[in-house]
Amino acid sequence: MHGTLTVIDKDPVRIHSYAAPEDGLDVNTQLIETPSRIIAVDAQFVLAYADEVVAYARQLGKPLDRLVVSHAHPDHYQGAARFGVPVHALPETTAEIVAVGAKTDLPTGTLIPLADMTPTVEITPGTEVIDGIPFVFEKVTGGEIHTTLVIKLPEQGVLVAQDVVYNHTHLWFLDKDFDGWQANIDRFAAEREYDTILPGHGEPTTPAIWAELTDYVNAGRELLGDDGDDYKKAITERYPAYQGAGPHRRRQRLHVRPQELTR
């Protein structure tokens, strides 16, 4: 396996958190294993890593019920067709995926048709009981992207935050929405019943992440100017141990001039 797995037991739920290697943008797919099925959250960027997630899910011996796409950034939805199950998303997310259109798997050059990535089931925010487990679907605005989905498992104390949270990984400040980032951090930090937080990039973490994210957002406010190269140098010097600063990530995560970004 090229990616890495972290397994968290929250009886009767088990979380299998798959992290892609750096060439897959360190993106996470969460496999939420309930008593009789598996709910996948986010689909990977590189098709080979999506295949790896699906192969792992199948060996768990339970059917893959659905794929939930948290937001419309390609590293979270390009591999959707590999899952072979209904794809669920907020309507805003589906609309943006459709607007962006077909994509290309960068390692292989394979064209990924739009139809293969487009969600077909609309998520309505609220609570859905799946296999006896309450799942709370919440729409979040601001921060990294204008609309994203957060999933809560209140009985297990699990917050599936995806890109609301990066753990020891450089945040993407394309929209320079520092206030939006901080509002979301404050919102979820106040919900102290969630002791397990699943980020979109980086390892599963604890509520200690909220203070770390606040520190990073404040650093972004201080350091981010008009020159993406200067910002990249400054932020990586301040956080030298953070992942997501490799050369191939520069255009994906750390450059901030829209004309130079590939999304």
pTM as predicted? 0.93
Other C-beta atoms closer than 10 Å to the C-beta of 81 total 18
Mean pLDDT of 69-94: 97
Q: Looking at residue 250, what is its pLDDT?
A: 38
Q: Which CATH architecture has domain 4-260?
A: 4-Layer Sandwich (3.60)
Judged by DSSP in three states, 215 sits in: helix
Q: Looking at residue 245, what is its pLDDT?
A: 82
How confident is the model over 151-202, as pLDDT tens digits?
A: 999 999 999 999 999 999 999 998 999 999 999 999 999 999 999 999 999 9
Candidate from 11-15, 48-52, 240-244, 245-249 with smallest mean pLDDT: 245-249
d(CA 87, CA 84): 9
Interior/surface letters 7-31, b for 16+ CB within 10 angstroms, e for the rest: eeebeebbbbbbbbeebbbbbbbbb
Other C-beta atoms closer than 10 Å to the C-beta of 139 total 15
Judged by DSSP in three states, 181 sits in: helix
Q: Looking at residue 224, what is its pLDDT?
A: 94
Looking at the DSSP bridge assignments, the partners of residue 199 are: 162
Q: Looking at residue 233, what is its pLDDT?
A: 95
Candidate from 17-21, 205-209, 239-243, 249-253 with smallest mean pLDDT: 249-253
Could you write out the DSSP letters of every residue in 18-41? EE--GGGTTBEEEEEE-SS-EEEE
Domain ranges in the chain are 4-260
d(CA 263, CA 252): 7
How confident is the model over 225-256, as pLDDT tens digits?
A: 989 899 999 999 999 999 998 644 433 443 33
Q: Looking at residue 246, what is its pLDDT?
A: 67
Cβ proximity of 173 and 141 under 8 Å: no
